[in-house]
Structure 1
Amino acid sequence: MRLNAFLARAGVSSRRGADDLIRAGRVAVNGREGELGTFVSPGDVVCLDGRELSAQELAYVLLHKPPGTVTTARDPQGRPTVVELVGHRVRAVPVGRLDVNTTGALLLTNDGQLAHRLAHPRYEVEKTYVAEVEGDPAPATLRRLAAGVELEDGLTAPARTRRLAAERIELVLHEGRKHQVKRMCAAVGHPVRRLERSRYAGLGLDGLAEGEWRELSADEVRALRRLVALER
């Protein structure tokens, strides 16, 4: 694996932070100063500031994100983060983002390869949202949301939509643009009052209250890896 991925697996920083450590000359591999393109093989000795590191076990966590938490490892404003909320024994970080007041299914892992593919548009990972909106969207409005809505960054991809109740709709997307659901609903005249992601990549919130989390099963991890062509 790449050196920055190894450092992230060792729990010392994010990949971006690891790049900064490497540039600063603080990381050595087998006694030689590491570089951004350095690969780490089994048996290699990696040291940070002279201290030997070891990669942590892989962790896969599903969190029911509550409102008021930010989807980062640290927050300059001092707000509670999802990483602090989970408090896992290894450093698992969120895959993608949810807005601070959006609730629902959030995956955290230190498996960098899987996280990268899940977040990549190429794999069209499915995300299901339940939105409470202003007003009750007509069937024609739901069809418009499903067909695609013109936003400032282009037309949204086709989606699946359905009415759940008065002023409550479900949207199933394969994209991950910033504030996408909120912008789509606002564009058709029904601003979002409350938003929850009920499913992510086939993982639902069954049995998880807001703020609770659980480890994924081996079968769930294999299903995720198959979803993004890491396993057959």
Structure 2
Amino acid sequence: MRLAKYLSHCGVCSRRQASRLIEAAEVTVNGHPANHIDHVTEADHILVSGQLVEGPAPKQLYMYHKPVGIDCKLRPDDPSSLSHYLPPGERVYPIGRLDKDSHGLLLLTNDGELCNRLIHPKHHQEKEYRVVVDRPFDAQFCDRMSAGVPVDGVITQACRVEPVAADTFTIVLRQGLNRQIRKMARYCGYRVVDLYRVRIANLKLDPQVLPAGHFQPIAMTELKLEEEEK
């Protein structure tokens, strides 16, 4: 199996992050610096940042209610990093990210293939957010947001935008551009003051069941993903 795929299969990180670690010379195979084209098996001695990779682990999936102020980058030297708030004893990582200033549903896993299916652009899984902006908006704002606006040199995909209050709307995206909703709103002349992720695919966050800062394990079978469009 290709090294990056094997690392994701073992729950070390996503395949994309594994490629970054290989590029950064953080991975060795049998005492030698790893290469992207390396093929490995469980018999190989693989170290990632000096830690031994012990082979495939049982697949885990958690729902986490991320509070504002937690950074999804896994940096042990940063007190605000998500690495300090992961389930104890489990080697899991976030599927995608939420901005440090955003809150709501985050999925944690050690299944690199599942991570790829959720975040890769070609799979287009829905993510729903509740957004509060700095002043009341009109119907034209919702129409403009839903039709697509320029963000980082590209036009965002059409999406669903529904008003729920004078300054609050829900938006359902199938994209994951960096700080996409904030940039979309800014282009339309508004500033996001609160961004809360409500749902990923069919999994919806209930704050009465899962308060901010808490996580809960869920069965892999509870997550229902839409099939890739042919």
> Please, what TM-score do these two structures have when normalized by structure 2?
0.83
Q: How does 1:45-194 map to 2 (within 5 A)?
A: 45-48=43-46, 53-74=54-75, 78-194=78-194
Alignment partner, residue 21 of structure 2: 17
SS in 2 for 1:186: helix
Q: Is the 8 A contact 1:129 1:171 kept in 2?
A: yes
Q: Is the 8 A contact 1:161 1:169 kept in 2?
A: yes
> Please, what TM-score do these two structures have when normalized by structure 1?
0.82
Partner letter of residue 53 of structure 1? E
Structure 2 CA distance for aligned equivalents of residues 32 and 150 of structure 1: 45
Alignment RMSD, CA only?
2.6
Alignment partner, residue 38 of structure 2: 38
Partner letter of residue 21 of structure 2? G
Q: Is the 8 A contact 1:45 1:52 kept in 2?
A: no
Partner letter of residue 67 of structure 2? P
Partner letter of residue 107 of structure 2? L
Structure 2 CA distance for aligned equivalents of residues 9 and 93 of structure 1: 13
Q: Is the 8 A contact 1:7 1:18 kept in 2?
A: no
1:195-218 deviation line (CA, Å, top 9, x unaligned): 111111221112211111111224
Alignment partner, residue 204 of structure 1: 204
| 1:69 CA displacement | 0.6
| 1:187 CA displacement | 1.4
Q: Is the 8 A contact 1:130 1:198 kept in 2?
A: yes
| 1:119 CA displacement | 1.0
Partner letter of residue 17 of structure 1? L
Structure 2 CA distance for aligned equivalents of residues 17 and 228 of structure 1: 30
Alignment partner, residue 217 of structure 2: 215
Aligned residues: 218
Structure 2 CA distance for aligned equivalents of residues 220 and 2 of structure 1: 29
SS in 2 for 1:146: helix
Partner letter of residue 46 of structure 1? D
Q: Which has the higher helix share?
A: 1
Structure 2 CA distance for aligned equivalents of residues 220 and 185 of structure 1: 33
Which one is further off, 85-94 or 204-213? Answer: 85-94
Structure 2 CA distance for aligned equivalents of residues 104 and 198 of structure 1: 6
Q: Give the fraction of aligned pairs with identical amino acids, expressed as a percent.
A: 29
